[in-house]
Amino acid sequence: MALLTFLLAFAAMAQSPPMRAVQISILDFKSRAQLQQWFKQLQAAGINTVIIKVFQNPGDGFHGLCPTRVPAGVYFQTEAAPVVCDLTGIVAEDAHRAGLKFYAWMDSRYADYGWEGRTDLHSLYYDLESSSYKTGRGLCIFHPEVKARLLHLYYDLARYPIDGVLVQDDLMLKHNEDFSPLAVHQYLKERGQPVSPERFYLEIKNEAGKKVAKDYTPEFREWNDWKTMKLLDLADELRAALRRQRPGVKFGCNFYYETALKPDKGKEWFSQDLKMAAGRNYDFYALMLYHRQLGEELHLSGPDLDSALELAGKNFLALIPGNGAPLFKLMTKDFNNSEPIPVDELKRVIKLIPQRDRAGLALFPSEAGQETLIPDIISTWGTKDEKNSSQRPDGRGDPGGVQKGKP
């Protein structure tokens, strides 16, 4: 019987269509009828999944249809954090009514709502410039109170009829986090090694005269491997908390583009490792392959940028096995000026990704009015590769120059 159940589940999974999703930061509607109509239009345009933000950070825009209660928190009922309003159930119901799957987009280490002043619950980072420790933005995953909150939040989120959860890209640790006492003590206990910045960083001064890490020592890499494993362990616990409440819910995490384009650098800067993560068997892995952001941060354009995008796509698909597990997230708006990305530009980016037919696609950010452009984008995604290039970015685009995540 157990074998039959497994085979039926495997067959159903194999027959599931690949994800064609939009990721939504703000539902800016004045009435529920407007929301329902938009979901119908998305479904008619070829979308089968909506990924919607269920957390609220200070300063972000609020979802419509919501009488705002607090400036930051979550959009579902829980005792583990402040509640902005109970909107998740309504959105799930309307998405399902339109024939769409509903994935909740939820944060993790940055969910410090109500704990903003609790420095004992936050990470510590080492500031290379001042050679001192400072309180980080993110919570300390080694603190039992933090872990209890996150598990409680994810368990309560799964009380709603969600189909999946996408974990925000805050489930990471920068190269100079976490020097909190609990992390240092646990590392010493488990690995028998001290944690000290003097043992980790090979420092230089950049062109602006600021101290940066030029490279890292073998001791750093051992410590970073351990941090990466601890983040993945926490992700496993979050998935388990969800499935205790809702066994069939899909689970996936966001990964920075560096983790595919330059895996060693992605691991050093964010403690993210796609190869290690692949061993945890998530339902999907979301790569934030935002082409204009990549080009700006790496100072790439033209053929060099194209080669970098192609290489990142090829590496990602090689690291994440199976059909449907890799999910490419493409930007539909310029993050600097909010201007829409021209469809022709987006289609050109899509054609650079080899063997994309076995991967999912998510468009971010999405809002009402874009649905008329979606069929053309999805059609382009479904076309066969026009070439199988072996181009590689030249040395000018080495991601070693990226400063993101390196205070």
In a domain, 158, yes or no: yes
Radius of gyration of the chain (CA): 21
In a domain, 199, yes or no: no
Q: pLDDT for 159-209, tens place per residue?
A: 999 999 999 999 999 999 999 999 999 999 999 999 999 999 998 878 788
In a domain, 320, yes or no: yes
Using left for φ > 0, alpha for ψ between -120 and 50, and beta otherwise, residue 381 falls in alpha
Eight-state DSSP code of residue 100? -
Check: CB of residue 234 under 8 Å from CB of residue 171: yes
In a domain, 218, yes or no: no
Helix (H) / strand (E) containing 51: strand 49-53
In a domain, 406, yes or no: no
In a domain, 226, yes or no: no
How far is the C-alpha of 225 from the C-alpha of 223, rounded, in Å? 5
Looking at residue 386, its pLDDT comes to 53
How far is the C-alpha of 351 from the C-alpha of 291, rounded, in Å? 13
Range of the structural domain that residue 295 is part of: 18-113+140-172+234-401
CATH number at residue 337: 3.20.20.80
Bridge partner residues of 84 (DSSP): none
Q: Identify the three-state secondary structure at position 407.
A: coil
How far is the C-alpha of 56 from the C-alpha of 81, rounded, in Å? 11
Check: CB of residue 180 under 8 Å from CB of residue 187: no
For helices 218-245 and 263-270, give the axis angle rounded to 10 degrees.
80
* List of the chain residues with pLDDT < 70: 1-15, 385-407
Check: CB of residue 6 under 8 Å from CB of residue 349: no
Which two structure tokens, joined as six digits, stand for 356?
């994309």
The pairs formed by 118-121 with CB atoms below 8 angstroms and a separation of 24 or more are: 121/145, 121/146
Which two structure tokens, joined as six digits, stand for 340?
């829409």
DSSP string, 138-183: EE-TTSHHHHHHHHHHHHHHTTS--SEEEE-TTS---TTB---HHH
Q: How many domains does the chain have?
A: 1
Give whole-number Cα distances, 30 to 33, 64, 69, in Å.
9, 6, 17
pTM: 0.90
Hey, which bits of 267-401 come out as E strands? 284-288, 326-331, 360-364
Cis peptide before 236 (omega within 30 of 0): no
Cis peptide before 144 (omega within 30 of 0): no
In a domain, 247, yes or no: yes
Terminal alpha carbon distance of the chain? 55
Q: Which amino acid is at 27?
A: L
Looking at residue 141, its pLDDT comes to 98
In a domain, 328, yes or no: yes
How far is the C-alpha of 237 from the C-alpha of 328, rounded, in Å? 25
> Which residue stretches of 262-342 are H helix?
263-270, 274-278, 291-298, 302-319
For helices 374-381 and 343-351, give the axis angle rounded to 10 degrees.
10
